[in-house]
Amino acid sequence: MSQTTPTAPENAAPHRYTAALAADIEARWQDFWERHGTYQAPNPTGDLAGDPELAARPKQFIMDMFPYPSGAGLHVGHPLGYIATDVFARFQRMTGHNVLHTLGFDAFGLPAEQYAVQTGTHPRTSTEANIVNMKAQLRRLGLGHDQRRSFATIDPGYYRWTQWIFLQIFNSWYDEDAGRARPVDDLVKQFESGERPTPGDRAPWAELDAAGRADLLGEYRLAYASDAPVNWCPGLGTVLANEEVTADGRSERGNFPVYKAKLRQWNMRITAYAERLLNDLDGLDWPEAIKLQQRNWIGRSEGARVDFPVGDAGRKITVFTTRQDTLFGATYMVLAPEHPLVGEVVPPSWPEGTRPAWTGGHATPAEAVAAYRAQAAAKSDVERQADAKDKTGVFTGVYATNPVSGERVPVFIADYVLMGYGTGAIMAVPAHDGRDFAFARAFELPIRCVVEPTDGRGTDTAAWTDAFDSHEAKLVNSRGEDVSLDGLAVPDAKAEITRWLAERGIGEGTVNYRLRDWLFSRQRYWGEPFPIVYDEDGIAHPLPESMLPLELPEVEDYAPRTFDPEDADTSPETPLSRNEDWVNVTLDLGDGPRRYRRETNTMPNWAGSCWYELRYLDPHNDRRLVDPEIERYWMGPREGAPHGGVDLYVGGAEHAVLHLLYARFWSKVLFDLGHVSSREPFHKLYNQGMIQAYVYRDSRGFPVPAAEVEERDGVFRHDGRPVTRELGKMGKSLKNAVTPDEICTDYGADTLRLYELAMGPLDVSRPWDARAVVGQYRLLQRLWRNVVDEASGAVTVVDEEPDEETLRVLHKAIDGVTQDMANLRFNTAIAKITELNNHVTKVRRVPRRVAEAAVLLIAPLAPHIAEELWRRLGHEDSVVHHPFPVADPAYVVDETVTCVVQVKGKVRARLEVAPGVPEAELEALALAEPAVVAALGGAGVRKVIVRAPKLVNIVPA
């Protein structure tokens, strides 16, 4: 489809609002704003302090999720959110707020590095070029950003503080008793004084050597290195966080397969904050869907830990269950194949009574276990899930003891139990769990019903075809030597058995979370270096603050080097490790110069976005990440926002559990350590919808350029051949991208801004319709013509009072637009401005008051044309800080209302009546209407419902 381009001859009307005139107006006002610093927001420690009028204004901190400066540039889908926040910010300025609105760049990350590997261009070079391009694209849109506050996460002056925050986290531990993070020094003091004994079988603090102490503190630090199995992605040459791996075991970026590998990696103890991350969601103004996703990701479940003794060496298997009430129904146990206990307890031969089905055909338990483990390890997560339906497993040769019934229960290993959840071990209750039921059927294990079914199937499990699950029913078959749950309802039984277990020290009620710690290191070049060095004993030392920023060194070779995850002697080679001069250093960390090796992993690209809202507040502060007074002013807790945070944060829903969870976590650590007054980074979150586009594919499924497709009689053709059409994302590879630059050139930025917002509600996805853009262009043309004569350029407004009807239209528009803007309903705001403009277009002679109000109403949406018309109307000031019109309530109500007269619910007549018309009068008027009389057809009236002044409904007899 060809682009509809207005091509009106310029000479026909020299002062017509054309794309060329729009371009001229827009460039001029963008320069004006820049010269005058129109969008600079004063801080409480600066300009604000000396200006009582400004200081009295309420503040608004309005943010977008900042962009990654990709080389592909922007398409029209990208700026939707930026336009929306800009309109909202402009509205807030005009309604008397001190508004902070700016935009930075999230510039570390894989694409720049991949590009560098391909082309040899340094990532900084390409990234900075991309930033320049993107800034130019964004400038054309007329976004009112405080440019002094913009930065990129790759600026050393910024990542200095990212590293600084890492050090704060490294130097903290979570004090469960206090319910907050505290400096590690406090913990050391507790160990030194003996107030806190060293845990487990460790020696007392005084007897530990440096390595022992470092190791112990590592168990507490909020940032710690550990050797756990991690997600290794050979395709990206790095490990990934759980949040970056999709459900089918592939990398979120690039869609490469991900494998488990055991590597020493940095982690952040986000699990310590699970409860607070969950609870504080309640105080946030976020879409319920996003809150729900975070709740699911955190995955809180209440239940109990129960110990099952195994063997004679005092060993036990600890399980987590949410159904401790069904303990009497636990007829076997299952461990995850990777469970460490398995190797310790496997006996040399199959015990008496081992069923053939349990052994997997192996001669000894050790052989069976080894074979099953090997089989499980060979499977990727994808295969493991695909095979999920058939329950496989093997007997370990070991029996444990059910602590309530004293019964011997066989212990299996099976795929369907995951090492990463709970304790990696379960008690299996086949009667009341579908997975256990399937496994028990496959392995001929006993099934015992311990909760009375309410569906009439009875307690004889032999006839069952599935597990029974009910939380309202009563317990049966649950009588032990000194405890009985029989007859108790499920919740009571839970409480009773939990108490019983706790009394004997063999279990306790607990809360389990699905959330895992956050894997925080990457084997890549283009990220923040860790401010960590290792001494000759391999002990990690934080760099002192004075050595920050630790700048990313130049390297020749950015390429990641893969390795063999099977071979324990190999590990990924990080790009930074190849730079021996940088890695090996002599530093004085307080005890004289010593040799150290630097950490060569880099931080994940989430690090820079975890705290950037704070840096906008005080971007040039080189003594602190943010001045406390400034932070309190913009971010602090306040009425309606009990945890503090940004007033409005707009971005895509794809960050629901990544960026938004990590940023909340860092916020809470900084709060605990006293660096900020806000517990939450983002008080109000809004997810903008996606701008979709049609993707046209040829018979082989390859996208063809959307702009070249022609439609005839509902058939789409490219080069004469039929193509298929589907609605999808907009993108270069799909050949359907429309850029903001081309729309700006064809119509102007104000038209683009209006069209993007007029398409529909901000949070709904909708297809881009190239033809429809012209509708908003026409609105601006009509508005222009209502003020400026197209032939002469003279201002045509008249200094007359508007008539009564125009006043009502005007004030209803002001009232509606004000409400819509405040609620981010820009589509309906635009419709109301259009109605007003259509009305005055008909009037022809436009009263100055009405024209000025219309210009101010549209100013947040179309700022360039508004500034231009405002100036031509004779005003010296900018509309940016001019007060928004205020509706006069006297004109918001109608003089007369249309009253609908229904007969039996069908509209038969309309009456024009005064708003205050008495009911009896209205009823009489309605019954006298000829159409009503006709509709009644002589039938009597049974009932008349009068809802004055809008409706009368007559029910015939």
Partner RNA sequence: GCGGCGGUGGCGCAGCAGGUUGACGCAGCAGACUUAGGAUCUGUGGCCCGCGAGGGCUUGAGGGUUCGAAUCCCUUCCGCCGCACCA
Footprint (CB under 7 A) of RNA, residues 289-318: 289, 292-293, 296-297, 299, 301, 303
Q: Is 764 near RNA (CB under 7 A)? A: yes
Q: Is 786 near RNA (CB under 7 A)? A: no
Q: Give the separation between CA 605 and CA 127, rounded to whole angstroms.
A: 14
Strand partners, 767: 692
Tokens, residue 166: 């890492």
Query: 457-476: which residues touch RNA (CB under 7 A)?
Result: none
Minimum Å distance from CB 926 to RNA? 12
Environment class of residue 790 by beta-carbon count within 10 Å: exposed (0-12), middle (13-18) or buried (19+)? middle
Query: 154-193: which residues touch RNA (CB under 7 A)?
Result: none
Interface mask (CB under 7 A) for RNA, residues 385-404, using x and -? x-xx--x-------------
Give the helix, strand, coil percentages of the chain, each rounded to 5.
Answer: 40, 20, 40
Interface mask (CB under 7 A) for RNA, residues 324-363, using x and -? ------------x---------------------------
Interface mask (CB under 7 A) for RNA, residues 487-516, using x and -? -------------------------x-x--
Among 53, 536, 842, 938, binds RNA (CB under 7 A): 842
Instruction: Reduce the DSSP state of residue 61 to 3 states and report it.
Output: strand
Interface mask (CB under 7 A) for RNA, residues 366-385, using x and -? ------------------xx
Beta-sheet pairing, 691-697 with 180-183: unpaired
Site for RNA (CB under 7 A): how many residues?
95
Minimum Å distance from CB 641 to RNA? 23
DSSP state of 825: -
Query: 244-283: which residues touch RNA (CB under 7 A)?
Result: 247
Minimum Å distance from CB 760 to RNA? 3
Minimum Å distance from CB 940 to RNA? 15
Minimum Å distance from CB 268 to RNA? 19
Query: ω before 949 within 30° of 0 (cis)?
Result: yes
Whether 825 contacts 763, CB under 8 Å: no
Residue nearer to RNA on the CB measure, 73 or 767? 767
Amino acid at site 656: A
Q: Give the separation between CA 364 and CA 353, rounded to whole angstroms.
A: 14
Minimum Å distance from CB 642 to RNA? 24
Residue nearer to RNA on the CB measure, 374 or 764? 764
Minimum Å distance from CB 32 to RNA? 28
Q: Is 831 near RNA (CB under 7 A)? A: yes
Strand partners, 540: 534
Q: Measured in Å, how far apart are the chain's first and last C-alpha atoms?
A: 60
Minimum Å distance from CB 893 to RNA? 13
Among 357, 715, 791, 955, binds RNA (CB under 7 A): 955
* Closest by Cα among 372, 369, 377, 414 to 393: 414
Whether 681 contacts 612, CB under 8 Å: no
Strand partners, 695: 726
Q: Give the separation between CA 787 and CA 17, rounded to whole angstroms.
A: 11
Q: Give the separation between CA 564 and CA 259, rounded to whole angstroms.
A: 11
Residue nearer to RNA on the CB measure, 369 or 626? 369
Query: 701-760: which residues touch RNA (CB under 7 A)?
Result: 758-760
Interface mask (CB under 7 A) for RNA, residues 885-924, using x and -? ------------xx-x-x-xxxxx-x--------------
Residue 659, Cβ neighbours under 10 Å: how many?
19
Whether 614 contacts 626, CB under 8 Å: yes
Length, in residues, of the chain = 957
What's the Rg (C-alpha) of the chain? 35
Minimum Å distance from CB 238 to RNA? 20
Tokens, residue 333: 């146990």
Query: 639-698: which residues touch RNA (CB under 7 A)?
Result: 653-654, 656-657
Query: 7-26: which residues touch RNA (CB under 7 A)?
Result: 7-9
Residue nearer to RNA on the CB measure, 678 or 786? 786
Minimum Å distance from CB 576 to RNA? 31
Instruction: Give CB contacts under 8 A, 24+ apart, made by 801-808.
Output: 801/847, 801/849, 802/847, 802/849, 802/850, 804/895, 806/839, 806/840, 806/843, 806/847, 806/850, 807/888, 807/891, 808/891, 808/892, 808/894, 808/895
Minimum Å distance from CB 253 to RNA? 14
> Could you give phi then psi for residue 402, rounded to 5 degrees?
-70, 120
Minimum Å distance from CB 134 to RNA? 25
Beta-sheet pairing, 691-697 with 766-767: parallel
Per-position DSSP letters for 398-428, written without gaps between them: EEEE-TTT--EEEEEE-TTS-TTSTTSEEEE
Strand partners, 691: 766
Per-position DSSP letters for 266-294, written without gaps between them: EEE-GGGGHHHHHHGGGGSB--HHHHHHH
Interface mask (CB under 7 A) for RNA, residues 930-949, using x and -? -x--xx-------x-x-x--
Q: Is 778 near RNA (CB under 7 A)? A: yes
Whether 552 contacts 122, CB under 8 Å: no
Among 25, 110, 417, 440, binds RNA (CB under 7 A): 417
Helices (H), 560-620: 580-583, 612-617
Instruction: Give CB contacts under 8 A, 24+ apart, made by 186-194.
Output: 187/217, 187/220, 188/217, 191/216
Residue nearer to RNA on the CB measure, 16 or 59? 16
Interface mask (CB under 7 A) for RNA, residues 605-644, using x and -? ----------------------------------------
Query: 789-828: which residues touch RNA (CB under 7 A)?
Result: 825, 827-828
Q: Give the separation between CA 151 and CA 393, rounded to whole angstroms.
A: 55
Minimum Å distance from CB 271 to RNA? 13
Minimum Å distance from CB 943 to RNA? 6
Interface region with RNA, contact rule CB under 7 A, candidates 34-42, 678-686, 774-782, 884-892:
774-782
Residue nearer to RNA on the CB measure, 118 or 733? 733
Tokens, residue 197: 């004994």
Q: Is 861 near RNA (CB under 7 A)? A: no
Distance of CA 593 to the CA centre of its chain: 45
Whether 437 contacts 430, CB under 8 Å: yes
Among 40, 775, 892, 941, binds RNA (CB under 7 A): 775
Among 421, 442, 843, 875, binds RNA (CB under 7 A): 421
Whether 334 contacts 415, CB under 8 Å: no
Residue nearer to RNA on the CB measure, 646 or 814? 814
Minimum Å distance from CB 774 to RNA? 5
Beta-sheet pairing, 715-718 with 710-712: antiparallel
Minimum Å distance from CB 160 to RNA? 33
Minimum Å distance from CB 520 to RNA? 20
